[in-house]
Structure 1
Amino acid sequence: MSKIVESLKRLNVENGTRSTEQDNEKVGGKSELALSMEEAVSQDENYILFVCGTQSEPEFRIGAALSDHSCVIYSVGESLSQMITLKHNQTPIVGVKFSPTSRNILYTATNDGQITACDLRAKGKVVAEFKDSTEDGKTKPLASFDINCEDRLIAGGTEHTGGDAFILFWDIRYNGSKMENKNNLLGGYWESHMDDVTCLSFHPTKQDVLASGSTDGLMNMFDLTQASEDLALTCSLNTESSVDRLGWLTDDSLWCTTHTHTLQLWNCEGASAYATFTRSNLAVSQNDDPDSCYLVRFHATNAFGQPFLLAGSSTAKGENLRCLNIKKNRLETCHEIVENKQIVRDSWIHEKSNCLVTVGERGIINVWRQTEATQQNSPSKLLTKISNGKSRDRHHRTKPY
């Protein structure tokens, strides 16, 4: 996290300021990310919806979840080498992640309310199942999930069902007859969100801190060591939109992207976002129509010099893709990505090799590398606009489970 914090200090997000020619001269020139590897995973017009990977080296692994409910695993070295295809899922996949501590364990979450762990050493055998097996027997369809940094706790966010939206928790270490359909559910929260829980993100180093986002517009932060949901809810931020994805910038700040293709940066104590970039801000080229632009993911990583937003535009001339830095309260292209052939749905970075992996609607996996060293941007400070207003009032909640 320390590297990310230092790189964030070089960002300059300041309302009411305009960049000068001198500012522009201090910014390193644009470079290209060139296509290093390409693999067409499916010939049946299946989308690749999600991608995840391991930070192992020199070879690393990536997992790609397809719209036909399958998941394909590749080893990436000097080439892309397919390892195995997992076909045990019968319903749409809502997330896929490698274990934080093992490149051989892959978790997939599906809309039918189940999370499975597969061992790639055993030909993808399902070695653990996590689902809501409470007495009422009613399935709570999952919309998101995450695993904490110690690989001990799984959180699953559900769709709005039965009048509630749940965040459910399982202890991965609990191995008492996991495969015998016994109840391994720890409990859950159900009063902090009023609609589908679309994204969950554990803190990268604090195993008991979880952030959640929902189509109700709220981003919540929880301290899971607390005895009740009301005490656990330490922060609630209203994006006034519908949250698509979120992640951690620093120990006390978050980024989120919305379903209306807006990027917001938040301090967890703030009453409003200290930086907001709408779809029109993505049209950094004169030839871009804002309606054709879309967000993929914000990467809070130092791999390319500082955090960046991956964004694209779909035009009659082709599928454009670029990395955007934040400079003087606007987005500027720092890396053009050439030879992209598809609308990109998800992306992931291997930080040791600075490889960017993208997947999308033509069923293609692309691996991109820099063609030249990225010049460092001039040092500048990330200014957070923190309101002195009171935080959102919260009603008392009963103890969950």
Structure 2
Amino acid sequence: MAALEEVQEQLAGLRLARRCAPRDEPAYLLDIAASAAAQPGGSRLVGVCCSSESLRVHDGETLRCLRQYRGHRGALHGVRFARTRHSLVFSACSRGTVGCWDVRSASQEPVQVFTGYPSNVFISFDVSCSDLIVCAGTEKVEKDAFLVFWDARGVTDCAGAAKEPLGVYSESHNDDITKICFHPTEPNLVVSGSTDGLVNVFDINKDNEDDALVSTCNSESSVSSLGWAGEGYKQIYCVTHDEGFCWWDTAQLDTEEPITLLHVLDVRESVCAENHGLHYLVGGLYHEKAGKLFLIGGTSTGNIHLIGCSTHGLSLVGTLSGGHSATVRSFCWSPTDEALLTGGEDAQLLLWKPGAVERSLTKKASLKISSSVQKRVRVHNTSLKSRKK
């Protein structure tokens, strides 16, 4: 309990340490990822997926932009670093490819391109914890929505080299596959979420899709974010496009105990975020030291709310203010230095640390960008379709 209280105080005590202001071409910051380890003689790398169809790589301590890639010619969805080769960064493209770049090279060309099938429009992806498998999720085309898999071994130094898929799963979702997340320690386990409301867990070591489908949970809404939590990461949580929250324990699958730990239809109505309100959820993070799941949400004016999860309900832990001036779209938690990175519609990348004092003199009021000139991500249909067993 003492450890939990300490962690909650630490999260509530996060303060703005660094601010990376908008560049010449302001853009929404849609996803953030950090490398698992620091570069030789330097700090960790931070990858940022932008609405301007560019992928940026920053120094994790100074937030200085080190690289910017624009080779996809399509909307980018997500950013991930390889776990074992920390210089490799991935992003999926709506044009049906997943690119992999080596940040040590000044070349704009990816060192590997994972190509999908002609009709594929990728809107989600992830890389397994072993770096062996890449998986991407597609928008629904006609009656099909696919999980597409590739063998990621042997990333080549031949710029632009293409890899074709190992295969697909096509029967388990019947609408856009909005999120994919591999298990943090079990490379054969992956969870997917869709606008059909389903959250599916697969064991990709199995021979076919039917056998691979370990469990199906229904969020009863459209899935916007999901992840793994709990001791041994046996729990799954998801956030929905209408600000709902679901939390399941897969360890209870073979028992008489209920699998659902908590289901909140609208978090905005259940969490009293002081006088600031709660307008949306961004996603969740599992804090290993505390053994506790937290949600990240916020307001349209840029305040960030940290929300604690328990089987009894949700509670506000703290509010981070004075940083963003518009909706926050993305975040990344670094357990090593206990820091939080956030990105938003004001085009800012911010670094929050316990008890920090901001080193930048930039005024945030001038950093808000006009949403009318920015390409918004697709608003997904939240209507549900029944799945026939």
Settle same-fold status: TM greater than 0.5. yes
Aligned-residue offset at 1:359: 0.3
Amino acid at match of 1:76: G
Describe how 1:33-182 pairs up with structure 2 within 5 A.
33-57=14-38, 59-77=43-61, 79-124=62-107, 125-133=109-117, 138-173=118-153
Amino acid at match of 1:258: T
Pair 174,82 (structure 1): closer, same or farther in 2 beyond 3 Å: closer
- Alignment partner for residue 287 of structure 1, among 254, 275, 287? 275
DSSP 3-state at the match of 1:102: coil
| Equivalent position of 2:179 in the other structure | 199
1:262-288 CA-to-partner distances (Å, cap 9, x unmatched) read 121112227663212323346413524
Amino acid at match of 1:60: R
Aligned-residue offset at 1:174: 5.3
CA distance in 2, matches of 1:305, 1:231: 31
Aligned-residue offset at 1:180: 7.5
Aligned-residue offset at 1:364: 0.2
Residues 31, 371 of structure 1: 8 Å contact kept: no
1:324-352 CA-to-partner distances (Å, cap 9, x unmatched) read 11357232222321312231101001111
Residues 108, 117 of structure 1: 8 Å contact kept: yes
- 1:353 equivalent to 2:318? Answer no
DSSP 3-state at the match of 2:236: strand
- 1:325 equivalent to 2:311? Answer no
Which sits farther off after the overlay, 260-269 or 164-173? 260-269
CA distance in 2, matches of 1:353, 1:183: 36
- Alignment partner for residue 355 of structure 2, among 371, 383, 386? 371
CA distance in 1, matches of 2:89, 2:22: 18
Query: Of the two, which has the highest radius of gyration?
Result: 1
DSSP 3-state at the match of 2:275: coil
Amino acid at match of 1:85: Q
1:217-243 CA-to-partner distances (Å, cap 9, x unmatched) read 000111111111111111011111111
Pair 209,287 (structure 1): closer, same or farther in 2 beyond 3 Å: same
CA distance in 2, matches of 1:106, 1:253: 27
Aligned-residue offset at 1:184: 2.4
- With the length of structure 1 as denominator, give the TM-score of the two structures: 0.79
- 1:256 equivalent to 2:238? Answer yes
Residues 265, 273 of structure 1: 8 Å contact kept: yes
- Alignment partner for residue 298 of structure 2, among 312, 316, 323? 312
Which sits farther off after the overlay, 62-71 or 279-288? 279-288
1:178-203 CA-to-partner distances (Å, cap 9, x unmatched) read 86876521001100000001111111
CA distance in 2, matches of 1:353, 1:121: 24
Amino acid at match of 2:152: I
1:96-115 CA-to-partner distances (Å, cap 9, x unmatched) read 11111122111110111100
- 1:274 equivalent to 2:261? Answer yes
CA distance in 2, matches of 1:62, 1:200: 20
Amino acid at match of 2:295: L
DSSP 3-state at the match of 1:362: coil
DSSP 3-state at the match of 2:110: strand
Higher relative contact order (CA 8 A, sep 6+): 1
Pair 253,305 (structure 1): closer, same or farther in 2 beyond 3 Å: closer
Unaligned ranges ≥5, structure 1: 1-5, 12-26, 373-391, 396-401
Pair 172,189 (structure 1): closer, same or farther in 2 beyond 3 Å: same
- With the length of structure 2 as denominator, give the TM-score of the two structures: 0.81
CA distance in 2, matches of 1:50, 1:354: 19
CA distance in 1, matches of 2:228, 2:284: 10
1:129-186 CA-to-partner distances (Å, cap 9, x unmatched) read 10125xxxx2310110000011010001111013110001000115699868765210
Residues 282, 331 of structure 1: 8 Å contact kept: yes
| Equivalent position of 2:12 in the other structure | 31
1:281-328 CA-to-partner distances (Å, cap 9, x unmatched) read 4641352455xx1101110123677431111022xxx43212111357
- 1:227 equivalent to 2:196? Answer no
DSSP 3-state at the match of 2:211: helix
Count of residue correspondences: 345
